[in-house]
DNA sequence: ACAATTTATTTTAAGATTAAAACAATTGCC
DNA sequence: GGCAATTGTTTTAATCTTAAAATAAATTGT
């Protein structure tokens, strides 16, 4: 197409050259790799040391922060998983005695889920060790680097939310 | 426990206070949130616009980078998923005509997977749009912020690998 | 009050995912 | 050459996950 015949000054470049977003793509792949790497290791250790799955641990973590319990919808939003997913997960955690389920006193559609004593005790002891694992996994970053990463991820989160909200109109 | 009675100078603090790793935990949760947010949106758009799942897209992305094909083991390592997982995924992509499977000429145990013409064409057109989505999702970060995030994630990746390698001995 | 809409959950069907065991072929070692 | 260990894949069983449809209760508009 005789590209070399077209003089590419800044102006024509902006119009003629499709933008290259390989850099953002690499950034996304690296973000995904970090998460997958850490998540996989946490999953492996949870299974190995406590014979618990990550979804079960995550669900208990949410409930531990809500002493009065939460509805399935709240859990679903917090955990960013589908409602149907939670139904099965909750089912198994009730069966194993870690959580209790009761009908909301104010809304007969809603189920309020909360940790049992056993569930809370087990979770707390797992969480203590889990915290050390995470600290170790991020251990090579300085305090300054961690806080800078925190800031950039906060901005990324807002950026993504903006892009997602803008899309759905 | 009359904590206020104990003078906490730097020295006793280091010995008596169990280290607090809440900050690292928050960092991890934020990393996870960003990934989940972006991944969920990409998954949703892939289904909506191309009727394809993210795992299928990811697998084709790997193959597109390897014109001569890859073995299942290579794919498994690159994608950081189990071998068994790939067997089913590959099965479905062969059935839909996107990839081809052949026995390795040098190793009769190994299967070499590669994109068909259809698969490659379809993937390329999806990938072009996908790249724009990603650019938009990270759109509020400046070039400088993106490169700093890239650097910090590279360091995080190395840190995690170090922690994982150290653990498995 | 009552019809329409929204909200909360469950069910269903399909696919994705893992860990562990089974199987098959190759490689390394003697 | 032959045996042990390793490597590549598949199978199996269980769990996880989603999207979409179904169900049920609450809320809204008139």
3 state DSSP class of A78:
helix
The answer to whether residue B140 sits within a structural domain is no
pLDDT the model gives residue B167: 66
pLDDT the model gives residue A113: 95
Tell me how far apart the alpha carbons of residues B22 and B64 are, in angstroms, rounded to a whole number. Answer: 41
The answer to whether residue B46 sits within a structural domain is no
Cα dihedral A47→A49→A51→A56 (10° resolution): -70
Q: Which residues of B touch A23 (CB under 8 A)?
A: 146
Give me Rg for the CA atoms of chain A: 23
Q: How would residue A36 be classed by pLDDT, with cut points 50, 70 and 90?
A: very high
The answer to whether residue A87 sits within a structural domain is yes
B67 burial level (CB within 10 Å; 0-12, 13-18, 19+): exposed
Answer yes or no: is pLDDT of B129 > 50: yes
- Per-residue pLDDT tens digits for B80-119: 999 999 999 999 999 999 999 999 999 999 999 999 999 9
- The residues that bridge with B114 in the sheet, in sequence order, are B100
Structure tokens at B150: 């890239």
Tell me how far apart the alpha carbons of residues A58 and B29 are, in angstroms, rounded to a whole number. Answer: 11
Write down how long chain A is: 169
**Nearest nucleotide (C1') to the CA of residue A77?**
C8
Segment A36-65 shows an average pLDDT of 94
Percent of all residues in chain B with a pLDDT value above 90, rounded to a whole number: 83
The answer to whether residue A65 sits within a structural domain is yes
The answer to whether residue B74 sits within a structural domain is yes
Average pLDDT in chain A: 89
- Cβ within 8 Å, pair B157-A22: no
- Cβ within 8 Å, pair A33-B157: yes
The answer to whether residue B110 sits within a structural domain is yes
Residue B87: give the domain boundaries.
Answer: 52-132
**Nearest nucleotide (C1') to the CA of residue A82?**
D18
The answer to whether residue B62 sits within a structural domain is yes
Percent of all residues in chain A with a pLDDT value above 90, rounded to a whole number: 83
Count structural domains, chain A: 1
The CA–CA distances, whole Å, from A21 to A112, A138, B6, B130, B137 equal 45, 28, 57, 10, 12
pLDDT the model gives residue B107: 92
Nearest CA in chain B to A45: B167
Q: How would residue B17 be classed by pLDDT, with cut points 50, 70 and 90?
A: low
Q: How would residue B165 be classed by pLDDT, with cut points 50, 70 and 90?
A: confident
Output the domain CATH number for residue B69.
Answer: 1.10.10.10
The answer to whether residue B158 sits within a structural domain is no
Q: How would residue B20 be classed by pLDDT, with cut points 50, 70 and 90?
A: confident
State CA B121 to chain mean position distance: 24
């Amino acid at each position: 197409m005789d590209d070399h015949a077209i003089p590419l000054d800044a102006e024509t470049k902006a119009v003629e050259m499709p933008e290259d977003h390989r850099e953002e793509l690499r950034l996304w792949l690296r973000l995904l790799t970090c998460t997958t790497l850490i998540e996989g290791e946490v999953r492996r250790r949870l299974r190995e040391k406590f014979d618990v799955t990550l979804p079960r641990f995550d669900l208990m973590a949410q409930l531990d922060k809500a002493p009065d319990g939460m509805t399935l919808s709240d859990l679903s939003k917090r955990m960013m998983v589908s409602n149907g997913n939670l139904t099965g997960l909750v089912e198994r955690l009730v069966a194993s005695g870690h959580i209790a389920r009761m009908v909301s006193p104010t809304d007969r559609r809603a189920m309020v889920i909360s940790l049992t004593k056993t569930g809370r005790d087990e979770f707390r002891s797992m969480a203590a060790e889990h915290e050390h694992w995470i600290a170790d996994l991020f251990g090579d970053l300085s305090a300054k680097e961690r806080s800078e990463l925190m800031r950039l991820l906060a901005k990324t989160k807002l950026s993504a939310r903006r892009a997602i909200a803008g899309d759905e109109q």
